[in-house]
Chain A
Amino acid sequence: MMSNAQVLPDLNDVVTRPYWDAAKQGKLVMQRCSECGHLRWTPQEECPECLTLGGEWTELSGRGTIWSFVVYRRALNADFPDVPYTVVQVELEEGPVMAARLLNEPEKARIDAPVHVVFTKVTDDVTLPNFQLG
Chain B
Amino acid sequence: MTAPGKRLAIVATGHTAQGEHPGRSAGSLQAEAIKIALGNAKLRKEQIDGLITCKQLHGDGSDDQVVPRVGMHNLRYTQTLDYGTCNFSLHQAQMALEAGVADLIAISYGTNQRTNRYQFGAGANSGPAAFTTPYGWTHIAGQAAMALRRWQHVYGLTEEQFGHIAVSQRAWAQRNPQAIFKQSLTMEEYLAQPMMVDPMRRADVTMISDGGVSYIVTTEEKAYDYTDKPIIMAGWAEAGASSSFYGENFMRPWLKRPGQEIWERSGIDRADVDVVYVQDPTAVWPLQMLSYYGFAEPGDIGAWLAEGHTYPGGDVPVNTNGGQLSEAYMWGWLHVVEAVRQLRGEADAERQVKDAKIALYASTMAWNKGGASVLVRGE
Residue ranges of A at the interface with B (Cβ–Cβ < 8 Å): 4-5, 7-10, 13, 16, 41-42, 48, 67-74, 76-80, 84-85, 87, 89, 91, 96-101, 106, 111, 122, 126, 128, 130
Shortest CB distance A33–B (Å): 13
Q: Are A99 and B246 in contact (CB under 8 A)?
A: yes
Contact B197 A99 (CB under 8 A): no
Compute how far the CA of A126 lies from the CA of B125 in the bound complex, rounded to whole angstroms.
13
- A73 to B195, Cβ gap below 8 A? yes
Nearest Cβ distance between residue A17 and chain B, in whole angstroms? Answer: 10
When distances are taken between beta carbons in the complex, the residues of chain A under 8 Å from B130 are 9-10, 13, 16, 42
Chain A contacts of B243 at CB under 8 A?
48
CB atoms of A89 and B136 under 8 A apart: no
Query: Which residue of A7, A10, A77 is within 8 Å of B139 (Cβ)?
Result: A77
Q: Check B23 for interface membership: any CB of A closer than 8 A.
A: no
- Provide the residues of chain A in CB contact with B200, threshold 8 Å: 70
Once A9-B125, A87-B136 are accepted as A-B contacts, the answer to whether A68 and B149 lie under 8 Å apart by CB is yes
B135, A100: Cβ atoms closer than 8 Å: yes
CB distance A77 to B138 under 8 Å?
yes
Q: Which residues of B contact A99 (CB under 8 A)?
A: 131-132, 135, 137, 246
Contact in complex: B150, A67 (CB < 8 Å): yes
- Known A9-B130, A96-B246; 14 more pairs at CB < 8 Å: A7-B134, A9-B126, A9-B134, A67-B150, A68-B250, A70-B197, A76-B141, A77-B122, A79-B122, A87-B137, A89-B146, A89-B247, A89-B250, A128-B134
Number of A-B residue pairs with CB-CB distance less than 8 Å in the complex they form:
122
Residues of A within 8 A of B146 (CB): 68-70, 87, 89
Do A68 and B137 touch across chains, with their CB atoms under 8 A apart?
A: no
Contact between chains at A76 and B121 (CB < 8 Å): yes
B181 to chain A, nearest CB (A): 18
B127 contact set on A, CB distance < 8 A: 13, 16, 42
Q: Is the beta-carbon distance between B197 and A5 smaller than 8 angstroms?
A: no
Q: Which residues of A contact B138 (CB under 8 A)?
A: 76-77, 80
Chain A residues with Cβ below 8 Å from B142 are 70, 72, 76, 87
Q: Which of A48, A76, A111, A126 sits near B149, CB closer than 8 Å?
A: A111
Contact with A along B226-270 (1 / 0, CB 8 A): 000000000000000001111110100000000000000000000
A129 to B150, CA, bound (A): 22
Task: Give the residue among A5, A91, A99 with the most B Cβ atoms within 10 A.
Answer: A99
Instruction: Kindly state the separation between the CA atoms of A74 and B201 in the bound complex, as whole angstroms.
Output: 10
Q: Return B117 CB to nearest CB of chain A, in Å.
A: 12
Residues of B within 8 A of A100 (CB): 135
Residues from chain B with a CB closer than 8 A to the CB of A101 are 135-136
Interchain CB contact under 8 A, B131 and A73: no
Within 8 Å by CB of A42, from B123, B245, B250, lies B245
| Residues of A close to B123: CB separation below 8 A | 7, 77
CA gap between A62 and B130 in the complex, in Å: 19
Residues of chain B from 102 to 140 with CB closer than 8 A to chain A in the complex: 121-123, 125-128, 130-139
Partner pick for A71 among B134, B197, B250, CB 8 A cutoff: B197
For the complex of A and B, 6 pairs with smallest distance between CB atoms: A97-B247, A80-B136, A71-B198, A10-B126, A9-B130, A97-B246
**Could you show 12 A-B contacts with beta carbons less than 8 Å apart?**
A4-B136, A10-B130, A13-B127, A16-B126, A68-B150, A70-B142, A74-B196, A76-B138, A77-B136, A77-B138, A84-B198, A87-B142
Residue among B128, B136, B146, B245 with max Cβ neighbours from chain A (10 Å): B136
Q: Which residues of A contact B121 (CB under 8 A)?
A: 76-78
Contact between A98 and B246, CB atoms less than 8 A apart: yes
User: How distant is the Cα of A122 from the Cα of B136 in the complex, in angstroms?
Assistant: 14
> Within the complex, what minimum Cβ distance (angstroms) separates A101 from chain B?
5
Is B147 an interface residue, CB under 8 A from the partner? yes
Selected from B128, B136, B198, the residue in CB contact (under 8 A) with A73 is: B198
CA distance A68 to B194 in the complex (A): 20
Residue on B nearest A111 in the bound complex, by CB: B153
Q: Closest Cβ of chain B: how far from A29's Cβ, in Å?
A: 13
Chain A neighbourhood of B345, CB < 8 A: none
Known contacts A70-B149, A72-B142: A7-B133 contact under CB 8 Å: yes
| Selected contact of B131 from candidates A42, A70, A91, CB within 8 Å | A42
CB distance from A99 to the nearest CB of B (A): 6
Q: Given A68-B146, A70-B145, A99-B246, A128 and B135 touching (CB < 8 A)?
A: yes
Q: Does B199 contact A (CB under 8 A)?
A: yes
CB distance from B144 to the nearest CB of A (A): 9
- Residues of B within 8 Å of A89, CB to CB, are 146, 246-247, 250
Check if A67 sits within 8 Å of B247, measured CB to CB: yes
